[in-house]
């Protein structure tokens, strides 16, 4: 039986997080080799031991470093023979504060990870994707990239910015057969949401979650697997005519 990602090689940044893990499992199940790229080596080791696949490896590096992005691409080529898919999924939430109280260094950090990271991923991976005859570059944005969001100004700014990066890259890379798209989730059951819930309502995080879920038409947070299945579609040839697009995975939040 032919699988959707047979003979494909993928890099997933933020690979040790909830969405990264779910995407890796989805890709592996569909025949891909996967290199997880994240900052924390212990988390990566533990995850690779948990999944236990000969088609899975990892690289501990910093997505804000061009050299580390290049090294991840080189490792994918050395271990698996090339690169077909790059999922720029690494992201941080920053602080939950009003703009006048927002720390400037924290703002810069959010922009560096969430915007510079995907830019460097593109810069490092385009030659390798081109050498394979094209491929798919997927950026994790957010529904906070589609509308304003009080008290998470840096995060919302960064998630808007990567949509502009994606649209520019999609047009620039089309003649190389490299497709570029974003996935824009609503709240998902991950560590990041626990942090945001506590930041929005300190000491009352459960109430914060209930409030946010009440604003989602389907009545719940997304699961990492919900996002991973859309990542799989965009990584596979099922989306061969899809580029420059924003894919919401939000339970109807932006309807």
What stretch(es) of the chain map to CATH 3.40.50.720?
A: 9-186+223-249
Whether 155 is a known active-site residue: answer yes
Alpha-carbon distance of 84 to 254, in angstroms, equals: 31
CATH of range 9-186+223-249; options 3.30.430.20, 3.40.50.720, 3.10.580.10, 3.40.50.300: 3.40.50.720
CA distances from 196 to 140, 168, 216 (A): 17, 30, 16
For the chain, percent of residues with pLDDT exceeding 90: 83
CB 25 within 8 A of CB 31: no
Phi/psi at 138 (5° precision): -120, 130
Give DSSP secondary structure letters for 20-57: HHHHHHHHHHTT-EEEEEES-HHHHHHHHHHH--TTEE
CB 111 within 8 A of CB 161: yes
Which candidate in 59, 155, 221, 247 is catalytic?
155
Using one digit for the tens of pLDDT, what is the confidence trace for 205-236?
788 788 878 889 999 988 999 999 999 999 99
Work out the mean pLDDT of the chain and round it to a whole number.
Answer: 95
Residues 6+ apart with CB under 8 A from 100: none
pLDDT at 205: 78
Using one digit for the tens of pLDDT, what is the confidence trace for 138-196?
999 999 999 998 899 999 999 999 999 999 999 999 999 999 999 999 888 877 777 77
pLDDT band, residue 75 (cuts 50/70/90)? very high
For the chain, percent of residues with pLDDT exceeding 70: 100
Alpha-carbon distance of 138 to 242, in angstroms, equals: 11
Alpha-carbon distance of 2 to 28, in angstroms, equals: 13
């Amino acid at each position: 039986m032919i699988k959707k990602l047979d003979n494909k090689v993928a890099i997933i940044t933020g690979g040790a997080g909830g969405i990264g893990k779910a995407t890796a499992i989805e890709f592996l199940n569909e025949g891909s080799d996967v290199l997880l790229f994240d900052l924390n080596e212990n988390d990566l080791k533990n995850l690779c031991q948990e999944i236990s696949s000969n088609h899975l490896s990892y690289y501990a590096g910093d997505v804000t470093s061009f050299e580390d992005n290049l090294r991840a691409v080189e490792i994918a080529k050395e271990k698996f023979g090339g690169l077909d898919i790059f999922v720029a999924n690494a992201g941080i939430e920053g602080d939950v504060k009003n703009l006048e109280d927002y720390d400037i260094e924290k703002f810069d950090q959010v922009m560096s990870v969430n915007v510079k990271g995907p830019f460097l991923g593109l810069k490092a991976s385009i030659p390798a994707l081109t050498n394979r005859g094209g491929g798919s570059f997927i950026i994790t944005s957010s529904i906070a990239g589609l509308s304003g969001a009080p008290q998470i100004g840096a995060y919302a700014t960064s998630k808007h910015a990567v949509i502009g990066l994606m649209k520019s890259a999609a047009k620039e890379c089309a003649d190389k057969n490299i497709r570029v798209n974003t996935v824009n989730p609503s709240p998902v059951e991950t560590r990041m949401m626990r942090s945001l819930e506590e930041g929005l309502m300190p000491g009352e995080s459960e109430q914060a979650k209930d409030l946010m879920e009440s604003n989602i038409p389907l009545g719940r947070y997304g699961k990492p697997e919900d996002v991973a299945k859309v990542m799989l579609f965009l990584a596979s040839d099922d989306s061969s005519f899809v580029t420059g697009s924003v894919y919401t995975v939000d339970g109807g939040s932006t309807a």
